[in-house]
Structure 1
Amino acid sequence: MPTFPPLLPGEKLEKVNENISLIRKTDGLTFGTDAYLLAAYVGRSPNSLAVDLGSGTGILPLLLLAREKIGRAVAVEVQAAFGELIARNAALNQMTDRLTPLCVDLRELPSPSLPAECADIVLSNPPSMKADSGKLNPSEAKQIARHEICGDIRDFCRTASSILKYGGKFYCVYRPDRLVDLLDAMRHHGLEPKRMTLVHATANAAPSMVLVEAKKGAAPSLTLTRPLLLTEEDKVTQSEDAKRIYETCSFADFWKV
């Protein structure tokens, strides 16, 4: 196992899979199904530059780089403590030459550090709760991750569009109850939704998340895939679709059906 600086108070080392280990704060941001599915939704482009907006611990670019789905990544994160954590996670997983943390407010992009039309891919798991809605978590990190405090969905889409090359792709996971806001923001900023998948816990459950792929400058034409069911009706057994996606970090076989 690669060497890394000792863990700081309030941190733990977590084994993500056979390829990745992650340092994270015990009372801070975690990762879950949405991160795995978004990484799998990104199309394979081994020579591409990908930018993750609101990267947190850096889990999304780590997953993509470990599977060689992208060539290089920039992890944009507004919180300095998490910018440092991304750098340490890159070192831990021997990816410092391919993963660059950039501590900046995404609303200030593009910038000399991340110029306009530089990226082939942009991805994000943005906050999906309005700044004035719901109960705020005592943790500032969780507030920023869940609520639109440091940018709303239009800010994320504007920045994604500005740093994407023409024809570049934007991948996003979001809450279904705010899907209209997401699609409206995408189109407003020249990102045409091209593929969308609703994710359900079971066949009888309402969708819990939605995955969207948009393309900068594309003509209107949206493919709505069949829904992804995460578990069988017993709510315990992982579905065959979900199992394949987790094993391959890809929706490729799923899209062919």
Structure 2
Amino acid sequence: MEHYDKFNLLPDETITDINSGLKLIQKRDGLTFGSDAYLLSAYVRKSPRARCADLGSGTGIISLLLLAKGKVARIDAVELQPDFAELITRNAELNGFSERLRARCTDLRELDGTSLGAPFDIIVSNPPYMKPTGGRSFSERRQIARHELFGGIGDFCRAASRQLKHGGLFYTVWRPDRLACLVSALCESGLEPKRMTFVHSRLELAPCLVLCESKKGASAGMYVTPPLIMYESGAGAKYTAELNKIYETGEFDEPYQRP
């Protein structure tokens, strides 16, 4: 397909400016970048020398945010869909991270402990939240990104455990109504949940997301942080001070860290 404009966009693509000084090429009919990806990247503790893997990377947005904030040294981004794996490479080039971000087009269910090289210090994943349904949406790309068509949460946790070194950290974002599935999958994979934050769109509403940090081979014991509230109560959509700070710094600070 013929490319056009200075960013070499295809007709089915768009480009978005991210508030960290990044530019992100996305598919118009794909699942676009949202707050869950940004919050997950901010939840990762800074470890500038760490080697990281991003499972189910999509466009590579989480990997790009981690590198832009200096949180890790290098990332292998695992993505099943070839056109999205190509997007990761292009987004890395566009933002100057070609030497530090490598796309790996493969099925994470087939990864063993040596598939990507040495064990990783950190693994991140924003996996599909929803169980498979009988129908298909108008976009196969969105269907794959949202639904567990090519791997459920158990597959993601097992893949993370196989790739992590002992004591390595796994970060994920998930739906609160399926939290039991996440915790069960983590524990069955040898990943102990150590820190968890519930995210609410507004104080008076039930949580819409949960962020989780797990550690391979750790003993039991988890710190549940105070909740993160995204918007002030009342009319309008004004960010809370806590969310503004996270968007500005790319970090969760106290009291969202372990005491």
Range of TM-score over shorter length: over 0.9
Whether contact under 8 Å (1:4, 1:88) holds in the other structure is: no
Name the counterpart of 1:32: 34
What is the match of residue 212 of structure 1? 212
What SS does the corresponding residue of 2:157 show, helix, strand or coil?
helix
Correspondence 1:231 to 2:231: yes
> Runs of 4 or more off by more than 4 Å in structure 1?
none
Query: Which of residues 114, 117, 127 is equivalent to 2:116?
Result: 114
TM-score relative to the length of structure 1: 0.94
Aligned residues: 253
Are residue 43 (structure 1) and residue 16 (structure 2) matched?
A: no
**Partners of 2:248 and 2:115 in 1: CA distance:** 35
Unpaired segments ≥5 residues, structure 1: none
Q: Is the 8 A contact 1:10 1:27 kept in 2?
A: yes
More displaced 10-residue stretch of structure 1: 206-215 or 235-244? 235-244
SS in 2 for 1:255: coil
Distance 2:121 2:21 in 1: 24
Stretch of structure 1 that moved more, 50-59 or 227-236: 227-236
CA shift, 1:182, in A, is 0.1
**How do 1:105-254 and structure 2 match up within 5 A?**
105-110=107-112, 112-115=114-117, 118-132=119-133, 136-234=136-234, 235-254=236-255
Letter in 2 for 1:84: E
Measure how far apart 1:131 and its partner are: 1.4
Gaps of 5+ in 2: none
Q: TM-score, normalised by structure 2?
A: 0.93
1:130 positional shift: 0.9
Q: How does 1:5-20 map to 2 (within 5 A)?
A: 6-20=8-22
CA distance in 2, matches of 1:8, 1:83: 15
**Mapped contact 2:171–2:213 kept (Cα < 8 A):** yes
Structure 1 counterpart of 2:230, which letter? Answer: L
Distance, in Å, in 1 between the alignment partners of 2:7 and 2:192 is: 43
Q: Residues 71-96 of structure 1, C-alpha deviation per residue, up to 9 Å, x if partnerless?
A: 00011000000000100000000100
What residue in structure 2 maps to residue 80 of structure 1? 82
Identity of aligned residues (%): 51
Whether contact under 8 Å (1:90, 1:96) holds in the other structure is: yes
Shift of 1:140: 1.1
| Structure 1 residue 113, shift from structure 2 partner | 4.2
Q: CA RMSD in A?
A: 1.7
User: For the residues of structure 1 that align with 2:220 and 2:196, how far apart are their CA atoms?
Assistant: 13
Tell whether the 8 Å contact from 1:29 to 1:57 is kept in structure 2 after alignment. no
Distance 1:155 1:166, change over 3 A: same
Q: Tell me, in whole angstroms, the C-alpha distance in 1 between the residues paired with 2:126 and 2:136.
A: 18
